[in-house]
Amino acid sequence: MSKVRNPGAEARKLHGTLTASRWLIARRLSQLAFFLLFASGPWFGVWIAKGTLSSSMTFDVLPLTDPLVFLQALLAGHKPEMLAILGAAIVLAAYALINGRVYCSWVCPINPVTDLAAWARRRLDIQKGWNLKPKARYFVLAAVLAAAALTGTIAFELINPITTLYRGLLFGVSWGLLGAMLIFLFDLFVARNGWCGHVCPVGAFYSLVNTTGLLRVSASGRARCDDCMDCYAVCPEMHVISPALKGEQAGVSPIIANRDCTACGRCIDVCPEQVFRFTYRFDDRVDTTTPSQKQAAGALENAA
Amino acid sequence: MAAATKETAGFDPRRRRALKELASYCAGAAAITAFLAGVSGLSRPLPAATLRPPGALPEPEFQSACVRCGLCVRACPYKTLKLAELGDGPAAGTPYFLARSVPCEMCDDIPCVKACPTGALDHALVDIEKARMGVANLVGRDTCLNMQGLRCDVCYRVCPLIDKAITLQMTHNARTSKHAIFEPVVHPDACTGCGKCEKACVLETAAIRVLPLDLARGAHDAHYKRGWEEKKKAGQELVPGIIDLPDRLPSLPGAPK
């Protein structure tokens, strides 16, 4: 397997930079929008969502509570008020309906940090590093829940880099950036896609929720795949691609069914053959009609 | 031959590798749990100068309930509440205030408690005068101006529960032997711990300070029964027929016996 240092270059050449970056741009805008919902109050005096990602109140009517923090409070022995119960139920229902890991790639403020680390890692050609299994995160999740039950405190919230970063930016807690910086260094030098793909207990929790979500990526054009490996190079959860992309002979659905898929859509962006697309869970149509983009481009060149 | 024997005995290198991996992940998880437990232990008990918002559950329960969202901080109209940074003392991200910087203004509608989604600030608190954020203590009995016979009275005057939470108790001034000392006396059964007295103390180093309840207050032993209260509860003598001996009053010389 040749290393892909600049994945998506071919797609950008074939389809234009905007098309080959559309989901990446959409995701950055989404992450910014979620942050601004919270930041517009303390920064500009326009109050939309008060609080942080661990618990918030939007327009004084919509309570939202992080279900993992809620679960830790329960395990720590606290009986929460209705507001938190309602808030956690709404969040859980929304992610169960859409796709649990959407939180990771479309909302979480750590995602741009780890994306940047992954990009730098490719550019600097740093070796894969510490070979953690993707399932390691479930052990971290178990450890976090055990700590809550044993200590009777929401212990993980002391160091949770996601809520700490939001708190830091929204409440001026200066340590907020430290966790994000450590994660950047961890992802850059220790383990590839280390935090989001192997360690983060919040991601692990949302992976567990991600069994019923409707939003999926489908490798519907897998017949066109020419093994350029660009999708593997950008995917933060590489193990999710193969079953769908290479499952034609085995009769496996082209839908990426693995619960670790964060529906970030980066594979859709970088694929020069436009093999992938967003769709709903039950749409296992396979698209074999379209000819290879590269063949078409080659034909054009030959004709000219 | 030896390898074959092992195989027949059920040795499976893949299974062994999987078990090894499982063991190392379990060890990692245990290490993380221990680390989190250690970190959570650093932040209790609450340091002496830091006070929790009104209605806060007792400290251990508070740390199982507070999700560190900051909604109470947003609800506070006087910017009294802050979220703790690492190193401030209280658990990182939890709300607290310092009486000497910005005390609690004791809002009638208690917006911070209403904003709390989890009940870490107990929603049962509806009367702010029932709040127990801490208790004021006259720690500087030797530096307090009133205790030196001067009439400062500031802590008494600013107390939102004047004459209930702080009273002035007149005693003899032994230094001048002709003046009075008006001693500020805190009544812990009425003091909410709002901190206005500590904020207002005119000395550069406050003589009156609000301390968290567990530091500031003693407690009766649970098994200790006070006879006079038990008697009132029972509505009668606890030991009927006990002989009440006559009290011996001091008698003046020359008085009739």
pLDDT digits (tens, 9 = 90+) for A124-154: 888 777 878 888 889 889 888 988 888 888 8
The CATH T-level fold of domain B134-216 is: Alpha-Beta Plaits (3.30.70)
Q: Is B68 on the interface with A (CB under 8 A)?
A: yes
pLDDT band at residue B23 under the 50/70/90 scheme:
confident
| Gyration radius of chain B's alpha carbons | 29
- Residue-level pLDDT at A1: 38
CB pairs under 8 A between A and B: 160
- B residues 109..168 contacting A (CB < 8 A): 115-120, 123
CB neighbour list of residue B51: distance below 8 Å, 6 or more residues apart:
B96, B97, B98, B99, B104, B133, B134, B193, B195, B210, B212
* H helices, E strands: number in chain A: 15, 5
Classify each residue of B67-98 as buried b or exposed e, where b means 16 or more C-beta atoms within 10 Å of its C-beta. Answer: bbbbbbbbbbeeebbbbbbbebbbbbbbbbbb
Q: Which residues of A touch B116 (CB under 8 A)?
A: 81, 83
CB contact under 8 A, B118 and A140: no
- Residue range A234-252, pLDDT digits in tens: 888 888 888 888 877 877 8
* For range A281-302, the mean pLDDT: 66
Q: Which CATH class is domain B43-130?
A: alpha beta
Whether B7 has a pLDDT exceeding 90, the answer reads no
CB contact under 8 A, A54 and B61: no
- Residue-level pLDDT at B209: 94
CB contact under 8 A, B118 and A73: yes
Smallest Cβ–Cβ distance between B67 and the set A65, A79, A173 belongs to: A65
* For range A258-282, the mean pLDDT: 87
Q: What is the pTM of this model?
A: 0.79
CB neighbour list of residue B142: distance below 8 Å, 6 or more residues apart:
none
* For range A250-256, the mean pLDDT: 82
- Beta-bridge partner residues of B82: B96
- Residue-level pLDDT at A300: 57
DSSP annotation of A237 reads T
Q: Give the distance from residue B57's alpha carbon to the nearest chain A alpha carbon, in angstroms.
A: 10
CB contact under 8 A, B28 and A139: yes
Q: Is B215 on the interface with A (CB under 8 A)?
A: no
DSSP conformation letters of A150-197: HHSS-GGGGT-HHHHHHHHHHH--TTHHHHHHHHHHIIIIIBTTHIII
Whether A179 has a pLDDT exceeding 90, the answer reads no
- Residue range A39-85, pLDDT digits in tens: 888 888 888 888 888 888 888 888 888 889 889 888 888 888 888 88
- Residue-level pLDDT at B159: 94
CB contact under 8 A, A153 and B92: no
pLDDT band at residue B72 under the 50/70/90 scheme:
very high
Smallest Cβ–Cβ distance between B64 and the set A135, A152, A174 belongs to: A152
Q: Give the distance from residue A17's alpha carbon to the nearest chain B alpha carbon, in angstroms.
A: 39
Q: Give the distance from residue B38's alpha carbon to the nearest chain A alpha carbon, in angstroms.
A: 9
Q: Is B93 on the interface with A (CB under 8 A)?
A: yes
- Residue-level pLDDT at B18: 84
CB contact under 8 A, A77 and B70: no
- Residue-level pLDDT at A23: 92
- Scanning the structure block, which residue is given the tokens 């905007």? A18
Q: Which residues of A touch B82 (CB under 8 A)?
A: 171
Whether A29 has a pLDDT exceeding 90, the answer reads yes
- Residue range B185-243, pLDDT digits in tens: 999 999 999 999 999 999 999 999 999 888 887 778 888 888 888 889 988 877 777 77
As a whole-number percent, the residues of chain A with pLDDT over 90 amount to 11
pLDDT band at residue A2 under the 50/70/90 scheme:
very low
Angle (nearest 5°) at CA A66 between A63 and A72: 125
Q: Which CATH class is domain A215-294?
A: alpha beta
- Residue-level pLDDT at B190: 92
Angle (nearest 5°) at CA A276 between A270 and A279: 130
- Residue-level pLDDT at B257: 56
pLDDT band at residue A296 under the 50/70/90 scheme:
low
Q: How far apart are CA A213 and CA A282, in angstroms?
A: 11
Q: How far apart are CA A254 and CA A231, in angstroms?
A: 15
CB contact under 8 A, B37 and A158: no
What is the domain partition of chain B in residue ranges? Answer: 43-130, 134-216
Q: Which residues of A touch B25 (CB under 8 A)?
A: 133, 135-136, 139
Q: How far apart are CA A93 and CA A111, in angstroms?
A: 22
